[in-house]
């Protein structure tokens, strides 16, 4: 089904997704790939040459504290959470991490600890950090969208780095190299593919930060955060959620043809948050009006 769709929508690949300021430069598979992610991960883990143990302190919502002896640049909040309670680990969306002498920050559940620190877990029901969780969720969904388009529309195409401003009420990815307009039935096929190939498989959103001192080795000018979902890798501007099965309702609502690319806009809700069909349809209609 998707293979036949990809044959319909192919054009020779274009290296620039758009001349519009709203679109972002396409990811070059030669530059940002799963192999590059593996190499960055290896370099970060071996940056100190030997595995160093650090004390990680978990702060529970009830005020309790637990200490864990974990591996620096290897162990993550998710690894610690599994030692506490597996259900707690699966529910957590992001972590609040506090390093000595630094302000607390939102971090991905799969981002390795870079030193001794304290952390707490945040799920989708935590009101205090709802804005930060929304941004992380939207960012993660945009990565999932780009990953699905890269795989579903197999061939000589270019998929942009995903963009995900919550205020726009949708997230999107731009694709160049499509042969024709994308029809509603095509969107249904891609939606079904995304759910079957990514969401229900509980694939982790892996995260690794390339420090500034190593960045020039990979052609970057400064510190870079990379996210991998399956074999798809993207540069992201902040933390992502833990796993793909934390994504619930998901719909690509519109494919808008621009001058030299097609913008795929979508919306989603976390699996832990329920809404009526009426409310969901209102979300879809609102997004369709906003995508431009």
Q: What is the pLDDT along the chain (292 residues), one digit of tens a residue?
A: 444 444 444 433 333 333 333 334 444 434 588 988 998 888 888 765 678 899 999 999 999 999 999 999 999 999 999 999 999 999 999 999 999 999 999 999 999 999 999 999 999 999 999 999 999 999 999 999 999 999 988 667 888 878 887 888 899 999 988 877 788 999 999 999 999 999 999 999 999 988 888 888 888 888 889 999 999 999 999 999 999 999 999 999 999 988 888 999 999 999 999 999 999 999 999 999 998 8
Domain count, the chain: 2
* Domain boundary residue, one of 83, 99, 129: 129
d(CA 64, CA 79): 18
Residue 68 placed within a domain: yes
- At 157, list the tokens: 């195409």
Domain of residue 57, CATH code: 3.10.20.30
Beta strand pairing call for 247-257 and 262-270: antiparallel
Q: Does a structural domain hold residue 23?
A: no
Given 96, 129, 162, the domain boundary residue is 129
- Residue 125 DSSP class: T
**Which residues does 165 contact at the CB level (< 8 Å), separation at least 6?**
138, 171
Please give the span between the terminal C-alpha atoms of the chain, in angstroms, as a whole number: 28
Q: Is residue 154 part of a domain?
A: yes
CATH of the domain at 167: 3.30.980.10
CA separation for the pair 278, 169 (Å, rounded): 17
Same domain flag for 69 and 170 = no
What is the pTM assigned to this prediction? Answer: 0.86
The span from the CA of 16 to the CA of 11, in Å, is 14
User: 163: number of CA atoms within 13 Å, CB side?
Assistant: 19
Question: Residue 251 in 3-state DSSP?
Answer: strand
What span, in angstroms and rounded, lies between the C-alpha atoms of 158 and 15? 7
Beta carbons of 98 and 106 less than 8 angstroms apart: no
Per-residue tokens: 228 = 């991998």
Q: What is the DSSP string of 154-187?
A: -SS-EEBPPB--GGGT-EEEEEE---SPPPHHHH
Domain that holds residue 84: 53-129
């Amino acid at each position: 089904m998707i293979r036949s769709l990809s044959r319909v929508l192919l054009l020779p690949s274009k290296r620039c997704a758009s001349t519009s300021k709203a679109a972002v430069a396409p990811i070059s598979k030669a530059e940002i790939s799963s192999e590059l992610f593996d190499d960055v991960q290896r370099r970060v883990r071996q940056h100190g040459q030997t595995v160093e143990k650090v004390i990680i302190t978990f702060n529970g919502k009830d005020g309790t504290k637990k200490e864990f002896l974990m591996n620096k640049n290897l162990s993550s909040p998710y690894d610690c959470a599994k030692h506490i309670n597996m259900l707690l680990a699966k529910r957590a969306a992001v972590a609040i991490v506090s390093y000595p002498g630094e302000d607390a920050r939102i971090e991905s559940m799969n981002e390795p600890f870079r030193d001794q620190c304290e952390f707490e877990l945040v799920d989708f029901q935590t009101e205090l950090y709802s804005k930060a969780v929304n941004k992380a969720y939207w960012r993660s969904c945009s990565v999932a969208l780009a990953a699905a388009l890269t795989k579903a529309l197999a061939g000589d195409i270019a998929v942009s780095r995903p963009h995900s401003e919550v205020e726009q009420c949708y997230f999107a990815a731009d694709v160049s190299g499509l042969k024709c307009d994308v029809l509603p039935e095509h969107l249904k096929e891609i939606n079904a593919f995304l759910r079957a190939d990514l969401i229900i498989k509980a694939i982790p959103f892996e995260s690794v930060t390339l420090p500034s001192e190593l960045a020039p080795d990979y052609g970057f000018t400064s510190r870079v955060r990379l996210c991998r979902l399956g074999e798809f890798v993207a540069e992201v501007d902040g933390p992502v959620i833990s796993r793909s099965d934390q994504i619930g309702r998901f719909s690509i609502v519109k494919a808008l043809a621009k001058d030299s690319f097609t913008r795929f806009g979508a919306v989603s809700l976390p699996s832990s948050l329920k809404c009526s069909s009426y409310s969901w349809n209102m979300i879809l209609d609102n997004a369709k009006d906003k995508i431009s």
